[in-house]
Structure 1
Amino acid sequence: MCRRRDVSEPWTDPAGALDAVILAGGRGSRLGGRDKASIEVDGESLLRRAVDGARSAGCREVVVVGPPRAGWEEIVQVREEPAYGGPVAALAAALGRLRSEGVLLMAVDLRNAAGVARLLASLPRPRTGVVLVDGSGADQWLASRWRTEVLRGSLTGDHRDQALRRVLGAFEPDRVVVGDDLVRDIDTPADLEGP
């Protein structure tokens, strides 16, 4: 279980330690405005699957960015500024809560969050970051791993409505091609069907 610490408390982590940032603040417009984090797959909410997936990969701190949710005392919750300001603004909002050398960046709606987290955690420490790539060759920015210092040194200022591919792509991360099933997410009602 992640150990809770005050943000101002110094923390010396061994090299290779990881935190996780889970983005859970989208509007779910293609799902009729449903909160993706609360959607259940196999009897568990997507948020529970993502948090447990990060923990199964050994993440020390799990930071969830999105609207406040009751009953989640075991995680750190933050909100991007402004609300619904996009994924780069969400990542920037989480940076102050990270204490480990590396961070997994994941979407709340990954069907196989545990598999994504464990794969990313098992990879060698990247120079800047590593992004999983699906079978079509598309970078899956919300299934990635980063050196925290790289993000912290670059994500300052106003990042509302900026694209992750533009901001994170500038760090020239490594890429790992994986099967589509591993990085499958839930964007539409049809995505709720199947395994």
Structure 2
Amino acid sequence: MVPPQETVRKQARSPPHRLRSARRRLPSGIVDTHPPFQEWRGAVADGLLRTAPSVTLRIAVVGPLDQAAAKALFLRGYSRDVTLLATRLNRDNLKPGLAEAGVHLVKASDLSLRRVGHKLEAIYEGRTVEFDVIYPAMGAEVRSQLALSLGAAHTEQDYLEVDDHQRTSVAGLYTPDLPIAVVSSTE
């Protein structure tokens, strides 16, 4: 027996090349922008550079202040030692909240990263500091072009607007994956 997804692939390659469905699910997502670090792929594979939380001892978040602050605050719930290495200090109003939460804010506009054994070193402003894990918050490339071409409502950054059932503004079009932004309640 051919698995259902294989049947769909075969049908899609055979004439008439059209699939009909009352509802459609669009794969979408984001691609995280990596920090300035040549060995980033190996560090991700070894769990040193992460995009999802992990309970560790010493955490750093790398990115412009406006993009990295929320991630640093979130990760503060996983560790007592969270440092935000701000590659750009572009939102002064975020600084008090970070300090109140116990997140160390460091200006690191000239940041570079280096792998040392099972740790990562952040080199900035003439200092070298070692971290157990580093989370990039450098921004992302939003991949929602297909949904946008169908007329889906979106933010200025092209994140799709959905309701609490992941429905877009296009009838029958759902996006269970990222990138989503606005979630409005529907009954």
Regarding TM over 0.5, the answer is: no
Greater helix fraction, Structure 1 or Structure 2: 1
| Greater C-alpha Rg | 2
TM-score (norm 1): 0.21
